[in-house]
Structure 1
Amino acid sequence: MRTARRASNVEVPSFLRQLVKETEKMVTFFFKGGPSERVPGEEENLNEDDTMPSPYLERPILEKHVSEGGSRMGLNYAVASMQGWRAHMEDAHTCMPQLKGELEDWAYFAVFDGHAGVTVAQYCSRNLLDHILTTEDHKPFNPREKERIQNAGGSVTLQRINGSLAVSRALGDFDFKEVDWRPETEQLVSPEPEVYELERTPEDEFLILACDGVWDAIGNEELCAFVRNRLQVCDDLRDICAQVIDLCLYKGSLDNI
């Protein structure tokens, strides 16, 4: 497997920087309950520890980590990642184009979207080897997910669980799994994945695995059309992955990509 690092040439629009600042102000205002009234003559006491740290950077980190590989079965792949606007890189991935032993006809690829830290994503990338394909986004505002959250005593505010967590199924996040009398799959956050088994056909062109830094910025059909178009003029999968990252950044993605 070869690994390369490339810088992005995308010029970040000024409106994105302004959007980050305004979003941070709005979220801070909501969670802190707005400005407090002060007693006349009372000295303003502002402590840096009372200020909510921003999840975003003043400027995005555009350095890309790009790699490629393949297997004896003729399976070729490439992967690219970038920290982007986020203060930390919290996502991880695993690429195993050919497993060993009785599973030598199998390949394993996974993207782990971390939040509130990278520990769980990195642990899963090293240890979680399960042959699944998740094809539905688990968002708190989806009707079925919202019903489970409300049944567990929670709410969906700002499209987040209790106004905080943006995903409704995840490993970890034990603060959202504390209803003792409910089973694991009926908590505010469920660890249960949705599993689909799909037969490959000769018409299959490629498979895209990505985190929500991609899918929140571009739809399935649009991204497939973009990749298909690029494959007609470029045979370097690493370059195409890097171009997808640039496209999502340009379309306004504020997450790790």
Structure 2
Amino acid sequence: MFDPYTKTSSGKENGRIKYAASCMKGARLGMEDYHTAILELDGSDSTSFFGVFDGHGGYKVALYCSKQFHIELVNHPDYENDPRTAMKHVYFRIDETLRRSEKWKNFDSPPDPYPDPVKGNLLSRLKTAVSQIFKKYKGPQQEGTTACVALIRGNQIIVGNVGDSRCVLSRNGQAIDLSTDHKPNDPRERDRIEAAGGKVFQRDIPKFESGRRHGTVPGIHRVDGIIATSRALGDFKFKKNFFLTPARQRVTCNPDIRTENITDDTDFLLIASDGIWEVKTSEEVVSYVNKRLQSGTDPIVVCERLLDWCMLSLDNSTVILVQFKRDGGSCPEPSCRLFRANNPTATDIRSSHSCPRSQAKTTDTPSTSGGSKDDTKSVFDYDEE
């Protein structure tokens, strides 16, 4: 069990990319955020994968997706030649797997340390087979997850999203949303929900002043008054109309896919769960991060400070910050790019100036209050060689 507001952070780099990630349990009972960071997805140093999965109703669907999404993506037949189409299909494939199989329920359970002699006898196996025949598996009914992922291949970023986690690109200091928050009160989402027989409304919540209750205020918009995101993996309670295609259900797994190029004026990519976006805009977050990177603050510290800055959301929060190196491993800092722009004959930034990161006089060090990444269920960082 996590204590509230403890963080777990990590970071790695190769010749192309440097990333930092941090997650923090908020005031909720459990930690349901997971993330995935893979520098070399398919054995190639030109391809990386990052994803944030914000669970609701439990953590196991989010855990399963954080461990499985990139595997399904690489194994898809269109991955090599059409990764955009492959990514879209993976959302539907994972949702169908959740509907058909209970594998997601025990994805983090260790194997039995000792064999059970009763398990293997004929009577036991017969009972198990009969129970499976008559058991009607329905999939996770009110448990699901958002899934905001980014595949980086060469100079191209392909972003897929369902739910209200968000991916933002900083270009010349300006925020560019690469995903859309799927909220039930969005007109496009509301139309689909109502066409599928659902409703969107707000439930009143108590209002407190000086420790005493003073009436109520409208809560957030929810599908059928229950779920606060209009797209998700799982949540089959809201996908029961079999006469409709999956893309037309009240809650759908149909993702938005967007492609963006990495250009010389690209600062960084940031993916975060809605614990950040509930209290800050994309513009505020991009400005906050840019200022600290330019001052030489370590990227892990930047992520941890960002979580602290958004603590008022009280939600579990996760952020991944991705910086793009240039010139075969040069510093990704904006001031380094500025130096190169003003010195077009420089052949290697590293040999032509002193990186501001190494000059920074800061006493900030990454937090270790949440333990190492191996000690927590809220972080999964893969670095496949």
Per the TM alignment, residue 98 of structure 1 is displaced from its structure 2 partner at its CA by 1.9
**Which of the residues 217, 240, 257 maps onto 2:279?**
217
1:185 alignment partner, SS class: helix
2:270 alignment partner, SS class: coil
Q: Is the 8 Å Cα contact of residues 234 and 240 (structure 1) preserved in structure 2?
A: no
Which runs of no fewer than 5 residues in structure 1 stay unpaired?
Answer: 1-59
Q: Which residue of 2 aligns with 1:85?
A: 27
Residues 99-124 of structure 1 deviation map (CA, whole Å, 9 limit, x = unaligned): 234x5411100000110011111101
TM-score, scaled relative to structure 1: 0.73
| 1:160 paired to 2:222 | yes
Per the TM alignment, residue 207 of structure 1 is displaced from its structure 2 partner at its CA by 0.7
| 1:150 paired to 2:194 | yes
Per the TM alignment, residue 232 of structure 1 is displaced from its structure 2 partner at its CA by 2.0
Decide which structure has the larger Cα Rg and report it.
2
**Which of the residues 69, 82, 88 maps onto 2:12?**
69
Q: How many residue pairs get matched?
A: 194
> Aligned partner of 1:151: which letter?
A
Structure 2: how far apart are the matches of 1:100 and 1:184?
29
Structure 1: how far apart are the matches of 2:45 and 2:258?
21
TM-score, scaled relative to structure 2: 0.49
> Aligned partner of 1:70: which letter?
E
Structure 2: how far apart are the matches of 1:233 and 1:141?
39
Percentage identity across paired residues of the two chains:
39
Structure 1: how far apart are the matches of 2:38 and 2:275?
22
* Cα RMSD after superposing both structures: 1.2
User: Which structure is higher in RCO with an 8 Å CA cutoff and minimum separation 6?
Assistant: 2
Q: Which residue of 1 aligns with 2:62?
A: 121
Structure 2: how far apart are the matches of 1:248 and 1:87?
18
Q: Is the 8 Å Cα contact of residues 213 and 248 (structure 1) preserved in structure 2?
A: yes
Structure 2: how far apart are the matches of 1:243 and 1:123?
28
Per the TM alignment, residue 62 of structure 1 is displaced from its structure 2 partner at its CA by 1.4
**Which of the residues 314, 320, 330 maps onto 1:254?**
314
Per the TM alignment, residue 255 of structure 1 is displaced from its structure 2 partner at its CA by 1.2
Structure 2: how far apart are the matches of 1:246 and 1:156?
32
1:206 alignment partner, SS class: strand
Q: Which runs of structure 2 are paired with 1:200-211 in the superposition (5 Å)?
A: 200-211=262-273
Per the TM alignment, residue 229 of structure 1 is displaced from its structure 2 partner at its CA by 0.8
Structure 1: how far apart are the matches of 2:296 and 2:46?
28
Structure 1: how far apart are the matches of 2:45 and 2:266?
21
Which runs of no fewer than 5 residues in structure 2 stay unpaired?
Answer: 74-150, 152-157, 162-178, 203-220, 318-385
1:208 alignment partner, SS class: strand
